Structure 1
Amino acid sequence: MISILIIDDEVEIGYFLSRLFQSKGYHVKVVNSGKEFSEIDFSLEQFHVAMIDLKLPDANGLTLLQNLKQVQPTCKVMIMTGYSTIKTAVDAIKLGASDYIEKPFDDIDLLEKQVEKLLGSTCFSNQHHIEKIARESGLIVGNSRAMNQLIQTAAKVAGKPVNILIEGETGTGKEVLSRFLHQASDRHQESFIGVNCGALSENLLESELFGHEKGSFTGATQHRKGLFEIASNGTLFLDEIAEASYAIQVKLLRVLETREFMRVGSESILRTKTRLIAATNEDLKEAVKQKKFREDLFYRLNVVHLKIPPLRERKEDIPLLVQHLLQRTGTALSFSNSAIDLLQSYEWPGNIRELSNFVTRAVMLADPNATIIQADELPINHQTKSQVVASNTDKQESNLESYLKTWLTETLTTFEQKDEVKLDEVLAQVKELESQVGKSFIMRTLKDTHGNRKEAAKRLQITMRKLRYLLNEKT
């Protein structure tokens, strides 16, 4: 039998929810305090869904959430919260909650649907669904922990009618993430419209957002709807929101507070149901301190805050990103292991956008008869390649010293033992030693030649094929 745990200090709410779900044939347990929660024997009672009120007189709902997830990690958790604590509810989602709902419960049908959705979901199917939407949105999640946590949080808040602020450096993919949020929401069949607030003058941006009446200003030769009107049931993405003028910020604040606006030159009030997602590459908190951005608008936009990590903090995702970008160009080319290593050593100040342009350029400049792009063929400028090679060489020299000490200790230990020795394994370790030493000499020579492989091979008196072989590259 499905079992539901309800934690709420309001006895009436506990009684109401208990009756509601018992009528569906579920077993329901209600506790009214943190103390009662601590008295539950979780070894005897297994819960499928828990509904936890964030504010209890003797406990913090977030603490109870963490405690519950430790003893019953498969239990789905729904946080119950007032509007003023929605930001805390989002924090709860980051800690493992599956959903949240605002109190008081104005829509009982919605509450029932949310619980039924939690009961019907599984970790596998949910993850599969998220990955499918990500692919359709052009979002490559990768393997980095930070990016996966971000997408899990984004997927959980996507269906909520709350404003979202996305922060991230230029080129990290803020618009792609906003499209993912739209596709993962109930509005996915409605319009998604984006506008760059920094690309338009104040007057043009005002007209673009709110529309205008014919003759309202010079050049207004006809009536025009604004984006808040066109995307009324969909999603409006405001990129570079920090670039919006103070006057535009005031008007945006009014729309967010009242859901009402007027076209330029009109006195008629229009209403909108647009879901707003804003993005910036600036620190809006700092902009508020410097009086460059309205504090009240910041808090209205920042109901849910998502920050995209820069590419230099998720370098483990570069191989997958490169593979995706190569597929997008329609080429059969691939990058060698050393080429990927070189890309992972670069800091990518322009993030994914820079990487995308780089891969496109590398494909265009590649030998028409080649199937693999080698590290020395990458279109990286001389200074950058030298810095990367120097960084790799320093690491290689440090690793060699450590490797030699470990190898010598293990070999002498094997030599001194009187039991049977597998000589083949010892000789294999000698070959590995040869490989490591060879690679270290090559890396140091590459540092001296500023990454010039032909010159390095000449100095080492080996062929380019031998150099690539010792670097474990395909030939």
Structure 2
Amino acid sequence: MINLLIADDEKEVGTFLSRLFTLKGYHVQVVNSGQQFYELDFHNHHFHVAMIDLKLPDCDGLSLLRHLKTLQPRCKALIMTGYSTIKTAVEAMKLGASDYMEKPFDDISVLEAQVENLLNHCTAQHQQVVHKLAHDSGLIMGERTSMSALLETAYKVAQKSVNVLIEGETGTGKEVLSRFIHLASPRSHEPFIALNCGAISESLLESELFGHEKGAFTGATQQRKGFFEIAGNGTLFLDEIADASPAIQVKLLRVLETREFMRVGSSQILHTNARLVAASNENLQQAVMKGKFREDLYYRLNVVKLDIPALRHRKADIPLLIEHLTERNGQANRTFSDCAIEKLQRYDWPGNIRELSNVITRTLTLTDSEQTIIAEDIVLPNNHVLQPNIETKAVQTIINDPLTEWRKRLVEDFQQKKEMDLTDLLSEIKKLESIVSKEIVLQALQQTYGNRNEAAKRLHISMRKLRYILNEKNHS
């Protein structure tokens, strides 16, 4: 017989659920407080499913969940929650809850189906499903418990229509994880649209997100649908959300609050049912504290937050990642020696999986397709000091010598010549500044494999400033 445990302080709810599931042939135990829950004899009474309310008068549901999972880890837990505590319900899922249900119960048949799904849940089969979805999306679960727990939480969350915030360093695979969420969700047959907010200007980003009408601005020769409209019932992934301008943040907040938007140049209200998954390589909560990101938008996005570990924290997964990357490059038959793998594991990978992918691709390309790859075949990024392409002798002087020495020589020249055209000198200094700025930006772009957003962050300049410097180069 199926043993069902119900923990809810509302006696009417407990009585109703007891009668509902008793008629289905279950044995039901109801408790109305945390004290009654702790007094249960979990050692002699095994429960298959526990339905736990998050808000009890004498304790919170998370404490009960921890107690249950300690004594009966195989018992499936269904969290019952009000809408205002959905975020806490997601935390419960991270602690081992299998699912959650919003109260009040609008459709009892949905609740019945959830309980039946938990009872029919086969752990081995479930793991196969998660692994297949991870493979299809390009994710490697690896050997670290933290990564497996992350994907398990992402899989559970994917079933719900809630916004997700993914945080992690550049190159950790935030877009790949968002694809996993899309494939694991009921929206998997709908469009998946990805957009990098830091890669395009504010005016273009608004048009990309919401679309525009013909004649809305110069160059708008025809009506264009935005990504919210194109995504429809699918998933919209917004990468580097922290780079969205304040004006765009306001518009995003309105969409999340009302599910409504307007094309640029139009007064017609359109509706969207797209699920939003946002990502950032910087801590959004800190960005809020610094005044760089809207607090109300942050809380709208942060219904569920998933943190992807950096590659340096999961080096044990590097052999599996190598296998996946060689297969993706169409060279599944290639092998790496133990020394080669050890060399890759000793490196800290500041560019994470994206950097590893570039190294593996370059190594496979430059070595004989018949040979085993050894440590000497692998050239790590930190073995290369990227030298700037110096255009003038004056610039070479500035870079090779301390600036104080360069200034000292200028003063000595003035003392010897007794005169100097200061306007011409300042003009030359401005040219030198422009040249050096361009070379440093190019170095940063080389080191970040062309990722402009990451290059700007390393140089502590805005994307607008970076584009300005590169445009100067085009006109010099």
Question: Aligning the two structures, in what range does the TM-score lie when normalised by the shorter sequence?
Answer: 0.7 to 0.9
Once residues 138 and 333 of structure 1 are traced to their aligned partners in structure 2, the CA distance between those partners, rounded to angstroms, is 19
Deviation at 1:107, TM superposition (A): 2.3
Change in Cα spacing, 1:358 to 1:46, as seen in structure 2 (3 Å) is: same
Once residues 110 and 232 of structure 2 are traced to their aligned partners in structure 1, the CA distance between those partners, rounded to angstroms, is 22
Once residues 28 and 206 of structure 1 are traced to their aligned partners in structure 2, the CA distance between those partners, rounded to angstroms, is 54
- What does residue range 199-348 of structure 1 map to in structure 2 within 5 Å? 199-331=199-331, 332-348=333-349
Q: Which amino acid aligns with 2:87?
A: K
Once residues 239 and 260 of structure 2 are traced to their aligned partners in structure 1, the CA distance between those partners, rounded to angstroms, is 21
Change in Cα spacing, 1:43 to 1:361, as seen in structure 2 (3 Å) is: same
- Gaps of at least 5 residues in structure 1 are 386-475
Alpha carbons 2:334, 2:370 under 8 Å: kept: no
Deviation at 1:343, TM superposition (A): 0.4
Once residues 235 and 218 of structure 1 are traced to their aligned partners in structure 2, the CA distance between those partners, rounded to angstroms, is 30
Once residues 196 and 202 of structure 2 are traced to their aligned partners in structure 1, the CA distance between those partners, rounded to angstroms, is 12
SS in 1 for 2:292: coil
- What does residue range 29-48 of structure 1 map to in structure 2 within 5 Å? 29-48=29-48
SS in 1 for 2:218: coil
Q: Which range moved further: 104-113 or 268-277?
A: 104-113
Alpha carbons 2:334, 2:369 under 8 Å: kept: no
Cα deviation code 1:210-245 (max 9, x no counterpart) = 111122222111122111111121100001101111
Once residues 109 and 190 of structure 1 are traced to their aligned partners in structure 2, the CA distance between those partners, rounded to angstroms, is 25
Change in Cα spacing, 1:49 to 1:198, as seen in structure 2 (3 Å) is: same
SS in 2 for 1:169: coil
Q: Which range moved further: 147-156 or 41-50?
A: 41-50
SS in 1 for 2:327: helix
* Corresponding residue pairs, total: 384
Query: Is residue 150 of structure 1 aligned with residue 172 of structure 2?
Result: no
Once residues 138 and 111 of structure 2 are traced to their aligned partners in structure 1, the CA distance between those partners, rounded to angstroms, is 32
The equivalent of 1:167 in structure 2 is 167
Once residues 380 and 231 of structure 1 are traced to their aligned partners in structure 2, the CA distance between those partners, rounded to angstroms, is 40
Deviation at 1:349, TM superposition (A): 0.5
SS in 1 for 2:9: coil
- Gaps of at least 5 residues in structure 2 are 386-476
SS in 1 for 2:115: helix
Q: Which amino acid aligns with 2:358?
A: N
The equivalent of 1:111 in structure 2 is 111
TM-score (norm: length of structure 2): 0.79
Change in Cα spacing, 1:55 to 1:375, as seen in structure 2 (3 Å) is: same
Once residues 38 and 289 of structure 2 are traced to their aligned partners in structure 1, the CA distance between those partners, rounded to angstroms, is 43
The equivalent of 2:181 in structure 1 is 181
The equivalent of 1:52 in structure 2 is 52
SS in 2 for 1:56: coil
Cα deviation code 1:286-332 (max 9, x no counterpart) = 11111110000001000100010000000000011001111111222
Root-mean-square deviation (CA, aligned residues, Å) is 1.4
Once residues 213 and 112 of structure 1 are traced to their aligned partners in structure 2, the CA distance between those partners, rounded to angstroms, is 47
Query: Is residue 138 of structure 1 aligned with residue 138 of structure 2?
Result: yes
Deviation at 1:45, TM superposition (A): 2.0
Once residues 126 and 264 of structure 2 are traced to their aligned partners in structure 1, the CA distance between those partners, rounded to angstroms, is 44
Q: Which range moved further: 197-206 or 19-28?
A: 19-28
The equivalent of 1:393 in structure 2 is none
- What does residue range 372-411 of structure 1 map to in structure 2 within 5 Å? 372-380=372-380, 383=383
SS in 1 for 2:321: helix
Change in Cα spacing, 1:381 to 1:255, as seen in structure 2 (3 Å) is: closer
Q: Which amino acid aligns with 1:337?
A: D
Q: Which amino acid aligns with 1:301?
A: L
Q: Which range moved further: 236-245 or 34-43?
A: 34-43
Once residues 279 and 373 of structure 1 are traced to their aligned partners in structure 2, the CA distance between those partners, rounded to angstroms, is 35
Change in Cα spacing, 1:29 to 1:143, as seen in structure 2 (3 Å) is: same
Once residues 296 and 192 of structure 1 are traced to their aligned partners in structure 2, the CA distance between those partners, rounded to angstroms, is 26
Alpha carbons 2:197, 2:244 under 8 Å: kept: yes
Identity %: 66
Deviation at 1:44, TM superposition (A): 3.0
SS in 2 for 1:59: coil
Change in Cα spacing, 1:111 to 1:315, as seen in structure 2 (3 Å) is: same
SS in 2 for 1:334: coil
Once residues 185 and 317 of structure 1 are traced to their aligned partners in structure 2, the CA distance between those partners, rounded to angstroms, is 26
Q: Which range moved further: 312-321 or 139-148?
A: 139-148
TM-score (norm: length of structure 1): 0.79
